[in-house]
Amino acid sequence: MKNYSENWEAVIGLEIHVQLSTKSKLFSGASTDFGALPNTQACNIDLAMPGVLPVLNEEVLKMAVKLGKALNAEINSPTSFARKNYFYPDSPKGYQISQMDKPIVENGYLDIETENGGKRIGVTRAHLEEDAGKSLHDDFEGQSGIDLNRAGTPLLEIVSEPEINTPEEAVAYLKSIHSIIRYLEISDGNMAEGSMRCDANVSVRKIGEEKLGTRTETKNVNSFRFVEKAIQYEIERQIHEIESGNKITQETRLYDSQANTTRPMRSKEFANDYRYFPEPDLLPVNLEKEFIEEVLATMPEMPTEKKERFVSEFSLSQYDADLLAADKDIAEFFEEVTKVSNSPKLSANWIMGELSAELNNENLNIKESKVSSNKLGQLISRIEDGTISGKIAKDIFEKIWTTGKEVDDIIKEEGLEQVTDDKEIELMIDEVIENNPQQLEQYRSGKDRLFGFFVGQVMKASQGKANPKQVNDILKSKLEK
Amino acid sequence: MDLHKLSLSKQLEGLKKGDFTSTELTSHYLNRISELDGQLNSFITVTEDQALSQAKAADERYKTNNNFSLDGLPIAHKDIFCTKGVLTTCGSKMLSNFEAPYSSTVYEKLDKNGMVMLGKTNMDEFAMGSSNETSYFGPVKNPWNIEYVPGGSSGGSASCVSAELAPIATATDTGGSIRQPASLCGLTGIKPTYGRVSRYGMIAFASSLDQGGVIAKSAEDAALILEAMSGHDPKDSTSLKLDQPDLTKNLNNPVKGMKIGLPKEFFEKEMAPYVLKSIEEAIEVYKSLGAEIVEISLENINLSLPIYYIIAPAECSANLSRYDGVRYGYRCEDPKDIEDLFMRTREEGFGAEVKRRILIGTYALSAGYYDAFYLKAQKCRQLVANDFSEAFKSVDVILSPTTPGTSFKSGEKTNDPVEMYLQDIFTIPANLAGLPGLSIPCGEHNGLPLGMQLVGNSLEESKLLQFAHSFQSNTDWHMKMPNI
């Protein structure tokens, strides 16, 4: 969906902030739980009391090493911290502890796929840093409140090379990062709660032009769809500006999802000089080879590997495998269902069809599904062994969803077993034919499509329980007579 | 009985034997403080009630033979160490109302050993100064002559120990703030190896240089308390992973056959004749004890002052950013918006010297200047450290004057920052290299004391104290006390 002239191309780089799911903060023992009362999860260190010192939470090193591996990147050892200086009321120390010269992860890449095929996007670096607190501007009558619960929460900032050229690629890259961090269980990746935040650097240039255009940075776009729309808007805006003879200002812009526009936040020309320098309170961290090996030994199967296995082990299509493997929980659910059902293809269809529709309806994630993987597996196995038809299975699925009952109990209680006895089916067919002489005549005089009418009538007579294949076969032979 | 004339180990012995109680000892010092500190201003806060209740608790423990190792011994703490529930001001208007919600590791360690806190001592604002004239709480006077400065930044600690208002005091040293006031007040002051004493709860000036220590009346007293303050602290990532050292066991070992290095770069400089004379006499004492004197070269040592005045301000410019009026401490009246709150709070809350250093540091870290100043200074700092490592291959300790001269009059150098900065020319190199250094009295001039400095190799505090004790066992400079 390229709405702009073919002569232009966009150059996009993404900075993704991922909140790491540690129990305690990056440099203090305070809890990182979301949603506590303001300032109840801020200890002396988070409050930047005089004399306090940071102590690195070593859990984050393991998380960063895993991410580095998943991004095919180098792990820097020693890796070191730096102070980024700026005054802001929710930045208690007046500086943020971040990384500058020796980020823990450097020089990686990620392969993405869009409708236009595969592409490799370079990952410049991923560095550790602490989050700021929050300024609250409502409810204080002309004053502002500060909540430092979030201050010091660990973040990994993942910076891509400017090698993304379309909004679709940007979303594919973002989704891929999201999938990876969820697989690694280093973050819940919840964009709405801010556990994953994305800033997009966008510039445009004429195709064939070597020089990069002036870029803008669009901040904190909080869903995949908004990232796509914000970038799309920004590309079109910049092209429009340039074509109207205006210049692009290097600036930070905010995306307004309601109006679907971006607007300037602050101009980078007047931005802070952050005066980075090595953090003297923390020594450079050496990551011993053994430590890295130990961490890597705990790496789970990653999305790409899983996808390939789904294709080879279960003979799924690339498309199905891709969809299922993108989300770790869905992939696990699928494997559990398949284990019980013994039918990978049917399991995949059910998960992506009925189940996902029902989950969407009630806004649940797969872990909250009211039909367990075991029950779904049993349901599918009952289709496979011919006990019930696919149509009946859908009714049973609904019943399990609302009542939580066992598959076989529902079949038994409601007498839903499929009718597979030829004689019984023949009797039903004879009755239908007898009751519809007019249609029979029309059919026999060449109106083939009435075949469907007869099938429908038979199924209706059997209350959906007749085996459709048998109905087809017998009906065909009777009608042809 | 003149309890204040007893050494710390004698006081401890007296407490153990029941010759006197901690309550008596503590009251004795509290009385001296209320009697004499009016003219010295060495304390910002006197914690009388707390001291007496700590003393009482110590006495109870002695009664039941459950006493701790340093139980009931009084101590004064530099007002840079956070002490829970007590004012901790760092000598600044910015923290003039700040009651720390937690205690520093140094305080906790000494508290656990039963030491009684007499109060919090005056200091240059945020430890920036060499004369204790930058304190928001007024200048501190030198007990040897109250027209003279006690040195800084630990001027209150030096002044109160010198006047025997406390038997010992904690102090901190970023460029000489323990050794220089010790020298100007005729005391023994030791700054250990960087990382020996936890910096947790010690309000930061320049993180990579700051180190806690003590100012005492003798090397023996200093050793006793310093060892209790030392040891690894998981709350300080730069703290060395070493257990508490035994600093008293080698005190009485002879220095015979050991080598003292004299850096030619120091002695080539123009030196006041009385300073040189005192140092030469001290060298003679060591020679007579069998130590060997070796001339050494510390090629890059003269870069120390400029290196220091890039690195220390750079670190302080960030360390002091937290004083913004938002969460604690001083806040300006009626701020009209957040910018105004930040700017006026800092404008009104910091004194001139602190602002000067924040500005220097901010400049040195600015885009375009970082490589030329900060990065270059760090590289040169490494050169200075390398010179020391090389020197310690052939000598045990390095001897020099501690200060260019004896104390100077109040106000004499306040208008010339560079002249003031030169006070630390001999002491700064040890901070840059993270090495232990101490100052002990070795002479006097016009009724004012003078100190010599010994710098040791990394982690060799014990050897430094051995040299100091050996000198003090054969001279009586450290016994001289001001008449006040």
The identity of residue A254, as a single letter, is L
| Contact: B322, A89; criterion CB under 8 Å | no
- Contact criterion met (CB below 8 Å) for A213 and A203: yes
Among candidate residues B22, B103, B177, B470, the one labeled active-site is B177
For residue range B189-214, what is the model confidence (pLDDT) as tens digits? 999 999 999 999 999 999 999 999 99
Catalytic residue list contains B409: no
CA distance A375 to chain B (A): 51
Per CB-CB distance under 8 Å, the chain B contacts of A273 are 366-367
Catalytic residue list contains B191: no
Cα–Cα distance, A37 to B332 (Å, whole number): 28
| Contact: B321, A280; criterion CB under 8 Å | no
Nearest of A179, A262, A272 to residue A224 by alpha carbon: A179
Per CB-CB distance under 8 Å, the chain B contacts of A51 are 81-82, 100, 104, 199-204
Nearest of B318, B301, B320 to residue B429 by alpha carbon: B301
| Three-state DSSP state, A282 | coil
* Domain edges within chain B: 3-251+437-444+465-479
Cα–Cα distance, A104 to A122 (Å, whole number): 16
What pLDDT, on a 0 to 100 scale, did the predictor assign at position A269?
47
CA distance B394 to chain A (A): 30
**Which pTM value belongs to this model?**
0.90
| Three-state DSSP state, B374 | helix
* Domain edges within chain A: 8-292, 303-414, 422-480
- When the pLDDT of each residue in chain B is averaged and rounded to a whole number, the result is 97
Of B235, B314, B322, the CB nearest to A53: B235
What DSSP line would sit under B272-299, residue for residue? -HHHHHHHHHHHHHHHHTTPEEEEE--T
Q: Best residue in A28, A53, A137 to probe B by mutation, most B CBs within 10 Å?
A: A53
pLDDT band at B379 (very low <50, low <70, confident <90, very high): very high
| Contact: B100, A56; criterion CB under 8 Å | no
**Judging by DSSP bridges, how do beta strands B259-263 and B397-401 pair with one another?**
parallel
| Contact: B321, A95; criterion CB under 8 Å | yes
For residue range B55-112, what is the model confidence (pLDDT) as tens digits? 999 999 999 999 999 999 999 999 999 999 999 999 999 999 999 999 999 999 999 9
Cα–Cα distance, A328 to A177 (Å, whole number): 13
State the complex-level ipTM. Answer: 0.96
DSSP assignment letter at B373: I
For residue range B264-274, what is the model confidence (pLDDT) as tens digits? 999 988 889 99
Per CB-CB distance under 8 Å, the chain A contacts of B342 are 87
For residue range B401-432, what is the model confidence (pLDDT) as tens digits? 999 999 999 999 988 888 889 899 999 999 99
Cα–Cα distance, B53 to B253 (Å, whole number): 39
Per CB-CB distance under 8 Å, the chain A contacts of B87 are none
- Contact criterion met (CB below 8 Å) for A198 and A227: yes
Q: What token pair was written down for B353? A: 């010297």
What pLDDT, on a 0 to 100 scale, did the predictor assign at position A216?
95
| Three-state DSSP state, B47 | coil
The identity of residue A280, as a single letter, is P
What pLDDT, on a 0 to 100 scale, did the predictor assign at position B318?
98
What pLDDT, on a 0 to 100 scale, did the predictor assign at position B296?
97
What DSSP line would sit under B438-476, residue for residue? EEEEEEEETTEEEEEEEEESTT-HHHHHHHHHHHHTT--
Q: What token pair was written down for B171? A: 């102090």
**Judging by DSSP bridges, how do beta strands A117-130 and B74-78 pair with one another?**
unpaired
What pLDDT, on a 0 to 100 scale, did the predictor assign at position A1?
46
The identity of residue B276, as a single letter, is L
Quick one: CATH architecture of B3-251+437-444+465-479? Alpha-Beta Complex (3.90)
CA distance B335 to chain A (A): 11
Name the residue of chain A whose CA is nearest to B366's CA: A275
What pLDDT, on a 0 to 100 scale, did the predictor assign at position A240?
94
Percentage of chain B lying above the pLDDT 70 cut: 100
Cα–Cα distance, B192 to B268 (Å, whole number): 27
What pLDDT, on a 0 to 100 scale, did the predictor assign at position A2?
55
pLDDT band at B136 (very low <50, low <70, confident <90, very high): very high
- Helices A422-435 and A450-461 meet at what angle, rounded to 10? 120
Question: For the range B59-62, what are the long-range contacts, defined as Cβ-Cβ under 8 Å and sequence gap of 24 or more?
Answer: B59/B21, B59/B22, B59/B23, B61/B114, B62/B15, B62/B16, B62/B18, B62/B21, B62/B22
The identity of residue B15, as a single letter, is L
Beta bridge partners of A204: A10
**Judging by DSSP bridges, how do beta strands A117-130 and B437-445 pair with one another?**
unpaired
Identify the CATH assignment for A422-480 out of 3.30.450.20, 1.10.580.10, 1.10.10.10, 1.10.10.410: 1.10.10.410
For residue B353, give Cα distances in angstroms to A261, B335, B364. Answer: 49, 24, 17
Catalytic residue list contains B78: yes
**Judging by DSSP bridges, how do beta strands B188-191 and B437-445 pair with one another?**
antiparallel
Per CB-CB distance under 8 Å, the chain B contacts of A48 are 322, 327
For residue range B385-404, what is the model confidence (pLDDT) as tens digits? 999 999 999 999 999 999 99
**Judging by DSSP bridges, how do beta strands B292-296 and B259-263 pair with one another?**
parallel
What DSSP line would sit under B319-361, residue for residue? HGGG-SSSSSS---SS-SSHHHHHHHHHHHHS-HHHHHHHHHH
Beta bridge partners of B25: none
Of B100, B322, B370, the CB nearest to A94: B322
In 10 A of CB A38, how many CB atoms? 14
In 10 A of CB B156, how many CB atoms? 37
What pLDDT, on a 0 to 100 scale, did the predictor assign at position A266?
64
> Which helix (H) or strand (E) covers residue B75, if one does?
strand B74-78
Q: Return all residues near A385 (Cβ < 8 A) that are at least 6 apart.
A: none
Of B88, B102, B237, the CB nearest to A282: B237
| Contact: B237, A55; criterion CB under 8 Å | yes
Per CB-CB distance under 8 Å, the chain B contacts of A49 are 82, 100-102, 328
Beta bridge partners of B292: B259
For residue B238, give Cα distances in angstroms to A99, A283, A284, A403. Answer: 18, 6, 10, 60
Of B102, B238, B327, the CB nearest to A281: B238
What pLDDT, on a 0 to 100 scale, did the predictor assign at position A3?
59
The residues of chain A scoring below 70 in pLDDT are 1-4, 266-271, 481
Q: Return all residues near B158 (Cβ < 8 A) that are at least 6 apart.
A: B150, B151, B169, B171, B181, B182, B184, B185, B187, B189, B215
Q: Best residue in A281, A282, A283 to probe B by mutation, most B CBs within 10 Å?
A: A281
What pLDDT, on a 0 to 100 scale, did the predictor assign at position B1?
64
Among candidate residues B92, B153, B183, B400, the one labeled active-site is B153
| Three-state DSSP state, A119 | strand
For residue range B3-13, what is the model confidence (pLDDT) as tens digits? 999 999 999 99
- Contact criterion met (CB below 8 Å) for B431 and B381: no
What pLDDT, on a 0 to 100 scale, did the predictor assign at position A271?
61
CA atoms within 13 A on the CB side of B156: 36
- Contact criterion met (CB below 8 Å) for A355 and A369: yes
The identity of residue B446, as a single letter, is N
Taking every pair of Cα atoms in chain A, the longest distance, rounded to a whole number of angstroms, is 98
Q: What token pair was written down for B158? A: 């030096």
Angle at B380 between CA B376 and CA B384, to 5 degrees: 165
